[in-house]
Amino acid sequence: MLEVPCLPAVRGLRAPLRRIHVPEELDAVTTIGAEADPEEAGLDRRAVARIWRGVTALYRARVHPAIQVCVRRHGVVVVNRAIGHARGNGPGEPEATEKVLATPATPFLIYSGSKAVTAFVVHLLVDRGSLALEDRVARYIPEYAAHGKGEITVGQVLAHRAGVSSLPRRAYDLDRVGDREFILDMLCRARPFGRPGEFLAYHAVSGGFILAEVVERATGSDIRTILHEEIRRPLGFRWTDYGVRADDLDALAADYVTGAPVLPPLSQLVSRALGVGLEQLVEWAHDRRFLAAVIPSANVVSTAEELTRFYEIFRRGGELDGVRVMSAAGVRRAITEQSRLELDLTLGFPTRFGYGLMLGSRWLSLFGRDTQHAFGHLGFTNMLAWADPERALSCAVMTNGKPLLYPEIARFYALMQRITCSAPKIRGSQMKVWDPLSGRPA
């Protein structure tokens, strides 16, 4: 799904903001999960307190009914908390509506955060020789070569440089979102807007479907099965899957459109990128049909605690708890820079990308300043998960408010900066030649 930096637009902020009720006493809506003594991770309690002040400041902006945060350092969980309501406290909901507290165990839909999960599944298969980044998509899907797409490679799709950032409008049909043949037909009908590799243009929905089809043709197994067999089952993940089972629907945090109404021309840009409008997207995202399908770019469901554990696999070089998911070389390949703060023609702001992962940078970074070795992914709209090997961090911030515009957006990015600043760089990180996955000389 589309990710937007959410910078305030003067015209949009003239309209009334859709906000939630926030109680004076925040302890009443705060749940703390299992947390270790920060000193076990080389931090102190003041660092955790600073992070939590950043979370509560964001919550007091009144655009996120719930915020869930997990921070691991050296694999140790030092923050594992939730504040607010999973459902029942959305803008305009009646006071009598039943309110359900969010907890660290509440699963959230992570929208485009799904792209990182999908990318790592693809890299797992590259690592094992099932396919290669240099392979043309048409090698696996011959019919995809239609309309001049025969030269597009798997790596270009991962890096958002394939030139097929959008799908035909009629592809956005909830009744057919799980119809593999229909989706494949839409992918083949798509026309590139430029030569493969020429431009960076975020593939909000199309890229995930292309990769999933390549995976199935290359292996004979669908991408959900591979995620389960290779990562979820060996490591005991409860969530972190494409969609949810029907009996888990009620456990999922509800999403709410908040903030300022999105007016033209921004609303038109959003609709063009997503294929649907903002409010329709949020409504669709919690439809049973959407959550029963495999939508590799957009419908992974997880908790902050589980998602940080997922990132911990790759922060540690592809191994966790005795389970080797991929080689350290495979992880390095995944985070190899493909776009260096280049203007993204879909998002409209500069982004640094690897093969499917958003990368940090020294100055302009989603993960805070001086994070050039960090990798992760943003989720619609104020959700972020990442690993920073230089600081031994794996982090996730989940929210269920979906604002594009609100005056306090800086609080969201300030929270990432607080988390980053809480953890000093690990020994060896100042070396001129440094392996970010080990903290040792390369």
Q: How confident is the model at residue 22 (pLDDT cuts 50, 70, 90)?
A: very high
Tens-digit pLDDT profile for residues 107-137: 999 999 999 999 999 999 999 999 999 999 9
What pTM was computed for the model?
Answer: 0.93
In this predicted structure, the answer to whether residue 8 has a pLDDT above a threshold of 80 is no
- Residues ≥6 apart with Cβ < 8 Å to 278: 257, 262, 267, 270, 402, 404
Kindly report, residue by residue over 274-303, the tens digit of the pLDDT: 667 788 889 999 999 999 999 999 999 999
Distance CA 344, CA 351 (A): 6
> In the structure encoding, which two tokens stand for residue 284, read together?
């669709």
pLDDT (0 to 100) of residue 341: 85
Reply yes or no on whether the pLDDT at 12 is more than 70. Answer: no
Poorest-confidence range of 36-50, 386-400, 423-437?
A: 423-437
DSSP string across 29-65: GEEE-----GGGGT--HHHHHHHHHHHHHHHTTS--S
Domains in the chain, start-ordered, CATH in brackets?
Answer: 10-116+231-441 (3.40.710.10)
Pairing relationship of beta strands 323-324 and 319-320 according to DSSP bridges: antiparallel
Answer yes or no: is pLDDT of 411 > 60.
Answer: yes
pLDDT in tens, 329-373: 999 999 999 998 888 888 878 889 999 999 999 989 999 999 999
